Amino acid sequence: MTSFRRRVLSGIQIGLLPSRLHGALVVHYFSVFNSFFEFFLSLTSDDNDVIERCTKCIEDELTKLTDVLKENTLKKPNDFFDKRKSMEVAVNCVEVLSVSSVACAFCSELIKPLQAKKGKRKHPEPKGKDHVQRISDKLKSEMNSFCDILQDFVDASPEETL
C-alpha cells in the first residue's frame, strides 16, 4: 500500500519541486497576449489614439517580461533548486517572446494592402504600419536583452565538478 505522506529528503520535501506551471504563473502570459489581441483589433479601426495606446501597452508588457527574466535569473542564488526554477522561468519568457513575434507577424500581414492590378492607382500607406514597426523593433531589442541576460546567467554560474 502506498503512503501519501510526503517524504523528507535532506530537509527538502519531495513533491514540492517547481514545475512548468510554477514558471508559467510567474510569467505574465495572459497580459502580454491580451495586449497583442487588443492591438490586433485596434488595427482594424481607424482610431490612431487606440492604436497608440495599445502599442504603448505592448511595449510596457515586453519590458516587464524582460524584468521578470532578470529578477528570476540574475538576482537568484546559484543553488540547484533556484537554478531549475530560473530555467523554467527563462523557458517561459522565451516562449512568450516567440509567440509574440508570431502575433506581430500576423499584425504585419493584417495591414498589408491588397494587391491590385499593375498600373492602377497607388494605395495609401497603412495607418498602423509604423506602430507594427515599433513593436517589431521592441521585440528585437528584448530578444537581444534576453540573450545578454541568459549569457550573464550562464557566466555567473559556478562550474560544477563531479
Is pLDDT above 70 for 133?
Answer: yes
For residues 2-15, give the mean pLDDT. 47
The torsion angles phi and psi of 160, rounded to 5 degrees, stand at -90, 135
- 53 vs 114, which has greater pLDDT? 53
% of the chain beyond a pLDDT of 90: 44
Tell me the pLDDT tens digit for each residue of 47-95: 889 999 999 999 999 999 999 999 988 877 666 667 878 888 889 999 9
Given a contact cutoff of 8 angstroms between Cβ atoms, the answer to whether 47 and 131 are in contact is no
For residue range 40-55, what is the model confidence (pLDDT) as tens digits? 999 888 788 999 999 9
Query: Cβ distance 27 to 99 under 8 Å?
Result: no
- Residue extents of the structural domains in the chain: 17-110+128-152
At 158, the amino acid letter reads P
Identify the residue with better confidence: 85 or 159: 85
Residue 31 — very low, low, confident or very high, per pLDDT cuts 50/70/90? very high
Residue with the larger pLDDT of the pair 139 and 77: 139
pLDDT: which is higher, 116 or 48: 48
Instruction: Count Cβ neighbours within 10 Å for each residue of 86-109 and write b for 16 or more, e otherwise.
Output: bbbbbebbbebbeebeebbeebbe
Q: What's the whole-number mean pLDDT along residues 15-22?
A: 61
Residues in the chain: 162
Q: Can you give the pLDDT at residue 5?
A: 46
